[in-house]
Amino acid sequence: MLDKLHSTLVHQAPALFRLPIKLVPASAQKALMLETLKRVFREALDDGEFEFLENRWLEVHVRDIGFKSYISFDNDKLVVQQDIEAPDVRFSGNLNDLILIAARKEDPDTLFFQRRLLIEGDTELGLEVKNLMDSVDLDSLPTMLRQGLFSLAAFVQKGLQAPAPLNEAHYAHKI
């Protein structure tokens, strides 16, 4: 019973986040994204490893919650925008998959070949972004952020391993 509840919660969480994400002002989303990126990539920023993104745009799209953010690098600083015309490369995936990638519980290449992670546009730039993400030393993250990420990923992973909720299994057979 608890496993089914856990699984249902993990599978339904993106739908629950969709409305609150839309209600949060773009300026607050932008500020939160920028601060999170600064903390996660502190060492890479200090070492100048974001120069490859100068005058180029990365779109991060969390498909199932309808969130998009655009990241670039200008004057030795990360830049985050909520909307631009044409990103150079786009990373898109569902919330649960992106959480697992961030915590290194899933391999991005595996999800890419399963079409659960999409990388579109400038493939060379996409590879540089992926390599930068892989180079992050998770142990260097602030303790609260690291522990929160690992706990969330473990919760998601366990929920995805449990049998799919009844309504999802029912719809999967209809397709």
> What domains can you pick out in the chain, each with its CATH number?
1-160 (3.30.1050.10)
Would you state the torsion angle of the CA atoms of residues 134, 139, 145, 150, taken in this order, to the nearest 10 degrees? 80
Q: Is the pLDDT of residue 60 over 90?
A: yes
- The pTM of the full predicted model, rounded to 2 decimals, is 0.85
- Nearest residue to 136 via CA among 144, 122, 147, 146: 146
pLDDT at 10: 92
Q: Is the pLDDT of residue 169 over 50?
A: no
In this prediction, residues 159-172 reach a mean pLDDT of: 61
Per-residue pLDDT band for 1 (boundaries 50, 70, 90) equals confident
Calculate the alpha carbon distances from 82 to 18, 85, 103, 154, 164 in Å: 16, 11, 25, 30, 34
Q: Could you report the per-residue pLDDT of 65-118, keeping only the tens digit for each?
A: 999 999 999 999 999 998 898 999 999 999 999 999 999 999 998 998 999 999
pLDDT at 64: 94
Per-residue pLDDT band for 134 (boundaries 50, 70, 90) equals confident
In percent, how much of the chain has pLDDT > 70? 92
Calculate the alpha carbon distances from 91 to 45, 63, 75 in Å: 20, 10, 24
